[in-house]
């Protein structure tokens, strides 16, 4: 099974890369010089990521990675409005629609404002405030940013919302999807892969990693 899983992951990555190549070839503007420049850019990005990873290991990882959350299996409807705002952002990015993604950011901020924290115990309250502080910052940027920056903030927001669901639970059926090109996960309400990080450029790039509920 392990070998099959590795083979499946490899095929997923190859498929996504093939989709990217087909998209580039269709433009008809890529020359050998472009390929050399792209190779150098990829090399530089790889070196930068190597240094960033080393820094993360030295610093003990990001704030999201260091959260100590007691996972809840509760079917909690109280998180529904927050998740709906997140999914509205996701669907806006899938459709390459900056304005709809921004509307989702506004809806998410409103959901956080309307959330009843009185239901939380002391431990949950502390973790909730840590998650929401960061999630609000990402949502605020999504409201006012161009779509490429919206997608960058959506990466961190996806971690925040996943942590929130782990902390408080949800009554929704969700799917945790994974993008091998960006090496990040996101949440979706459908099994079908619709990648918010690339939109129409590589819409079906990714795979379902886990079902929630």
Q: 71-129: per-residue pLDDT in tens?
A: 887 899 999 999 999 999 999 999 999 999 999 999 999 999 999 999 999 999 999 99
Query: Is residue 170 assigned to a domain?
Result: yes
In whole angstroms, what is the distance from residue 198 CA to residue 212 CA?
Answer: 24
C-alpha closest to that of 105 among 138, 155, 139, 151: 139
**Averaged over 184-207, what is the pLDDT?**
98
Q: What is the pLDDT of residue 48?
A: 44
Kindly state whether residue 71 falls inside one of the protein's structural domains: no
pLDDT digits 0-9 by tens, 29-85: 444 444 444 444 444 444 444 344 433 333 333 444 567 787 887 899 999 999 999
Establish if 60 belongs to a structural domain: no
| Counted domains in the chain | 1
Read off the pTM: 0.73
Which residue range forms the structural domain that includes residue 185? 77-212
The token pair that represents 197 in the structure block: 């990080």
Q: Is residue 1 part of a domain?
A: no
Number of H-type helices and E-type strands within the chain: 6, 3
Residue 149 lies in a domain: yes
Residue 23 in any domain: the answer is no
Query: Does 191 fall in a domain?
Result: yes
Q: How far apart are CA 64 and CA 140, in angstroms?
A: 18
Q: Is residue 107 part of a domain?
A: yes
Please compute, for residue 76, the number of CA atoms within 13 A of its CA located in the half-sphere on the CB side.
20
Helix axes 147-168, 80-94, angle to 10 degrees: 150
Task: Out of 19-28, 112-121, 165-174, pick the least confident.
Answer: 19-28
* Whether pLDDT at 28 is above 80: no
State which H helix or E strand residue 110 sits in.
Answer: helix 98-114
| Greatest Cα pair distance in the chain | 61
């Amino acid at each position: 099974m392990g070998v099959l899983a590795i083979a499946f992951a490899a095929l997923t990555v190859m498929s996504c890369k093939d989709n990217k190549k087909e998209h580039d070839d269709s433009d008809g503007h890529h020359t050998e010089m472009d390929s050399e420049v792209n190779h150098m850019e990829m090399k530089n990005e790889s070196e930068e990521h190597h240094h960033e990873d080393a820094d993360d290991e030295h610093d003990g990882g990001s704030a999201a990675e260091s959260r100590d959350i007691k996972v809840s299996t509760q079917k909690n409807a109280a998180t529904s409005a927050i998740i709906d705002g997140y999914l509205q952002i996701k669907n806006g990015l899938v459709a390459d629609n900056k304005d709809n993604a921004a509307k989702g950011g506004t809806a998410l901020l409103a959901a956080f404002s309307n959330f009843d924290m009185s239901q939380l115990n002391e431990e949950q309250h502390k973790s909730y405030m840590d998650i929401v502080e960061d999630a609000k910052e990402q949502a605020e940027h999504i409201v006012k940013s161009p779509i490429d920056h919206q997608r960058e903030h959506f990466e961190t927001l996806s971690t925040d919302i996943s942590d929130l669901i782990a902390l408080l639970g949800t009554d929704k059926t969700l799917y945790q999807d994974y993008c091998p090109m960006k090496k990040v996960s996101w949440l979706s309400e459908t099994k079908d892969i619709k990648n918010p990080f690339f939109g129409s450029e590589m819409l079906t790039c990714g795979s379902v990693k886990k079902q929630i509920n």
